[in-house]
Amino acid sequence: MKVAYLTNQYPSVSHTFIRREIAALEDKGIEIVRFSIRPPPTRLLDPEDIAEQSRTTVLLARGIPRLALTAAWTAVRHPLRFAKALAMTVRMGLRSERGLLRNLAYLMTACTALLLFRQEQCGHVHVHFGTNPAAVAMLCRMLGGPPYSFTVHGPEEFDRPWPLSLTEKIEASSFVAGVSSFGRSQLYRQCGHEHWQKVEIVRCGVDRSYVDTEVTPIGETRRLVCVGRLCEQKGQLLLIQAAAKLRDFGESFELILVGDGDMRSEVESLIERHGLREMVTITGWASGEDVRNHLVGARAMVLPSFAEGLPVVIMEALALGRPVVSTYIAGIPELVVPGESGWLIPAGSVDALVEAMREVLQAPTARLEELGREGRRRVLAAHDASISTKPLFDRFSQGQQRV
């Protein structure tokens, strides 16, 4: 049985975990066909992402006229199914923050997906994120397409379950996955108890290079690294405030922000306002190899997020033997344990962040490496993609047996 993988934008610099998941499943013998609703949002830098792009069919690349024609053809050929899907589209559109027209576009996209899934003889569709790609998969199923499942990462789905019609998507699916125990608990909240048996934990996996690598000693570097999109939920503005306080306390250090995003200008303005240009650097988007090099060259990774699922970069930092400073939110405490693999602070607390960063800078290297070793052990136990994809493999195999 072929499995179609459907994502909103794939490949993407922030979605390399999907690429790793696909590779691990293909190693297990599952044939994967890649689909993306839209093309990648930015120019790809990672050679593996560039190669993956050539294997991916972009649904909207067919153009609006062809999508509309395919939708009309589907309505004529399957009028009852189309009417039911249209009714669901209207219901989702009336509650959605994106409105009815956007949801009608999802229905048109679902008609095209139905055609392509049949051409590729896909027996199942797996989706990443419970947002618009899950809507497309659900509508495609209502039109007579293959069964679907989806992975919910959060925090968007947990913040806005009603506008996203998350309950309906769960109930119509074959199964749904959370990336942590916390994620599973939030999915339980959004469906009746009779659907709980279809909720899995499928943890994101790290690249084989992180699993197979030899840990590099930390050395005497004073560098701290934050990897993530420059956006409100990642807490970089608080990180700059904390850096200013650390500087005022007389601590010498270098802070590297790896990433880019909508808040870059605000972050740059705050750096300028605090006079931190000599101590804080923003790299912009980086390839997977560059991210890895930044982590290896760091004393610790700092991610003071306000909202998350379970960031893959935390897994990558720990796999490289670098302790992590992060916050007591979502699935992060399942991997970062205070005093064992890093530091956790209350989200939004600049003072707590300053204290944790100061402890990192003042801790003996041997202590940091001890924390890094425990973090690496935890990652290898739960986030090796060859292991973490087993629940997906089992579910897909069960579906194949029923065909």
CB 216 within 8 Å of CB 320: yes
Q: Are residues 199 and 216 in the same domain?
A: no
Q: Are residues 361 and 390 in the same domain?
A: no
Residue 230, pLDDT > 90, answer yes
Instruction: Identify the three-state secondary structure at position 218.
Output: coil
pLDDT at 162 over 60: yes
Residue 391 and residue 378 in one domain: no
Cα distance between residue 322 and residue 298, in whole Å:
7
* Closest C-alpha among 197, 119, 190 to residue 152: 190
**pLDDT score recorded for residue 319:** 96
**Strand-pair category, 223-227 with 254-258:** parallel
pLDDT for residue 52:
94
Q: What are phi and psi of 283, to 5 degrees?
A: -85, -25
Q: Which domain covers residue 394, as residue numbers?
A: 2-205+384-402
Indicate if 367 and 259 belong to the same structural domain.
Answer: yes
Express each pLDDT in 83-93 by its tens digit: 999 999 999 99
**Structural element, H or E, at residue 262:** none
> Per-residue DSSP letters for 277-313?
TTTEEEEES--HHHHHHHHHT-SEEE---SS-S--HH
Model confidence pLDDT, tens digit, residues 57-105: 999 999 999 999 999 999 999 999 999 999 999 999 999 999 999 999 9
Domain total in the chain:
2
Q: Parallel, antiparallel, or unpaired for β 31-38 and 56-58?
A: parallel
**Quick one: 16 and 136 in the same domain?**
yes
Residue 401 has pLDDT above 90, yes or no: no
- Is the same domain home to 214 and 333? yes
Same domain, 31 and 178: yes
Please indicate, yes or no, whether the overall pTM of this predicted structure exceeds 0.85.
yes
Write the DSSP symbol of residue 54: T
Whole-angstrom distance, CA of residue 14 vs CA of residue 254: 24
**Polymer length in residues for the chain:** 403
How much is the pLDDT for 377? 96
Same domain, 64 and 121: yes
Residues 339 and 394 in one domain: no
Whether residue 301 is found in the same domain as residue 371: yes
CATH label of the domain that carries residue 266: 3.40.50.2000
User: Rounded mean pLDDT of the chain?
Assistant: 95
pLDDT at position 403, please?
46
Note whether 349 and 235 are same-domain residues.
Answer: yes
Chain Cα centroid distance, residue 149: 16
Question: Two tokens at 125?
Answer: 């569709």
Q: What is the DSSP letter of 345?
A: E
Per-residue pLDDT of 172-193, as tens digits, reads 999 999 999 999 999 999 999 9
**Is the domain of 196 the same as that of 226?**
no
The long-range contacts involving 164-171, CB below 8 angstroms and separated by at least 24 positions, are: 164/96, 164/130, 164/131, 164/135, 165/91, 165/92, 165/95, 165/96, 165/135, 166/130, 166/190, 167/191, 168/88, 168/92, 168/138, 169/130, 169/134, 169/135, 169/138, 170/195, 170/198, 170/199, 171/195
